[in-house]
């Protein structure tokens, strides 16, 4: 692999992003790892959920750095930050001298990942997803890469059990219709549609997304929101802005008219907890379904 300066970076064909193949890639990545003999001791975690899983596996002391989105647990925040997960610089990553990189799917840019592959650093890509199986897959990949399969199996069992309990407890006769608002800048409503972490967590907690018919986070028309008439409005927890945001919603010409606003069912949850789909998701489901129940009286 250690060709001349001009030789190592020839374009390699990108593998299609299919989870099954990713698993193979992980294994392949480890096979060619020069540190195969010893488990990796300098680990870089990219992605909030990935970092949480490393800590939940009890392997936090092996981490040497993290990305900007890794803010939990508090110990993680003390680690050096290599930048935003989709805009990493190759030398920045190499400067923390990792021997294993755990990267959430979509880490990039691709050029940087290419250089890291050329640097012969073991790279495990952790698949992203917004349901129970996705969490299990994340934990499994991370545990395998860290060579702690037993701890991984324990954590999987733990999380699966907790999640099943939380889901069962959250199930109701009439699932609340929940509107997730990503931002409310200038009165414009940016809300979650299908194929989002927000919809994933709402469904796990026994609710349904009040909006349908589009993917991702989109600005939605006032009339669509009025028509959807959500029972609950869910937002991310930004420190200190609760009251202001609640006022914004109550005074908003359309949101103020919804059942959620009139019954005061406006919920704030920490963003990473809510949308991270990591080991804390059972907690998030519990908290959210409790809040749903309370909101529905």
Neighbours of 240 (CB within 10 A): 7
**Whole-angstrom Cα distance, residue 231 to residue 211?**
12
Query: Which residues are bridge partners to 192 per DSSP?
Result: 217
Q: Residue 219 Cβ, how far from other proteins at the closest point, in Å?
A: 7
Q: Is residue 292 within 8 Å of 204, Cβ to Cβ?
A: no
Nearest CB to other proteins, comparing residues 56 and 235: 235
Q: Residue 61 Cβ, how far from other proteins at the closest point, in Å?
A: 19
Chain positions contacting other proteins, by CB under 8 A = 2, 4-6, 8-14, 16, 65, 68, 80-84, 86-97, 106, 109-112, 114-115, 118-120, 215-219
Phi then psi dihedrals of residue 17, to 5 deg: -80, 75
Q: Residue 9 Cβ, how far from other proteins at the closest point, in Å?
A: 5
Q: Residue 98 Cβ, how far from other proteins at the closest point, in Å?
A: 10
Q: Which residues contact 296 (CB under 8 A, 6 or more apart)?
A: 172, 174, 176, 231, 265
Q: Residue 212 Cβ, how far from other proteins at the closest point, in Å?
A: 16
Nearest CB to other proteins, comparing residues 162 and 224: 224
Tokens of 22: 């990713």
**Whole-angstrom Cα distance, residue 104 to residue 219?**
26
Cα radius of gyration (the chain): 21
Q: Residue 10 Cβ, how far from other proteins at the closest point, in Å?
A: 8
Nearest CB to other proteins, comparing residues 202 and 291: 202
DSSP code for 194: B
Nearest CB to other proteins, comparing residues 89 and 172: 89
**Whole-angstrom Cα distance, residue 189 to residue 255?**
9
Nearest CB to other proteins, comparing residues 6 and 297: 6
**Whole-angstrom Cα distance, residue 63 to residue 51?**
9
DSSP code for 15: P
Q: Residue 121 Cβ, how far from other proteins at the closest point, in Å?
A: 9
Nearest CB to other proteins, comparing residues 103 and 291: 103
Nearest CB to other proteins, comparing residues 214 and 296: 214
The length of the chain, given as a count of residues: 297
Going from the C-alpha of 58 to that of each of 53, 151, 164, 273, 275, the distances in angstroms are: 9, 8, 23, 19, 22
């Amino acid at each position: 692999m250690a060709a001349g300066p001009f030789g190592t970076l020839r374009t390699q064909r990108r593998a299609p992003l299919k989870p099954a193949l990713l698993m193979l890639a992980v294994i392949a990545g480890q096979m060619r790892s020069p540190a195969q003999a010893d488990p990796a001791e300098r680990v870089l975690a990219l992605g909030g959920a990935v970092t949480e899983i490393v800590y939940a596996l009890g392997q936090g002391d092996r981490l040497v750095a993290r990305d900007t989105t890794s803010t939990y647990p508090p110990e993680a925040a003390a680690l050096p930050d290599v930048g935003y997960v989709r805009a990493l610089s190759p030398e920045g990553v190499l400067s923390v001298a990792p021997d294993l990189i755990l990267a959430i799917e979509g880490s990039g840019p691709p050029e940087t990942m290419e250089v890291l592959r050329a640097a012969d650093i073991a790279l495990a890509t952790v698949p992203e997803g917004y349901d129970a199986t996705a969490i299990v897959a994340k934990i499994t990949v991370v545990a395998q890469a860290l060579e702690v399969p037993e701890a991984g199996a324990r954590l999987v069992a733990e999380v699966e059990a907790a999640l099943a309990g939380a889901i069962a407890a959250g199930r109701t006769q009439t699932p609340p219709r929940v509107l997730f608002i990503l931002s409310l800048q200038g009165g414009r409503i940016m809300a979650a549609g299908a194929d989002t972490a927000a919809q994933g967590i709402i469904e796990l907690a026994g609710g349904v997304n009040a909006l349908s018919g589009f993917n991702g986070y989109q600005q939605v028309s006032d009339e669509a929101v009025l028509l959807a008439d959500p029972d609950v409005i869910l937002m991310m927890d930004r420190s200190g802005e609760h009251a202001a945001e609640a006022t914004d919603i109550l005074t908003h010409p359309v949101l103020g008219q919804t059942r959620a606003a009139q019954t005061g069912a406006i919920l704030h949850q920490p963003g990473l907890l809510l949308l991270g789909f990591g080991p804390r998701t059972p907690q998030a489901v519990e908290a959210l379904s409790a809040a749903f129940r309370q909101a529905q009286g």
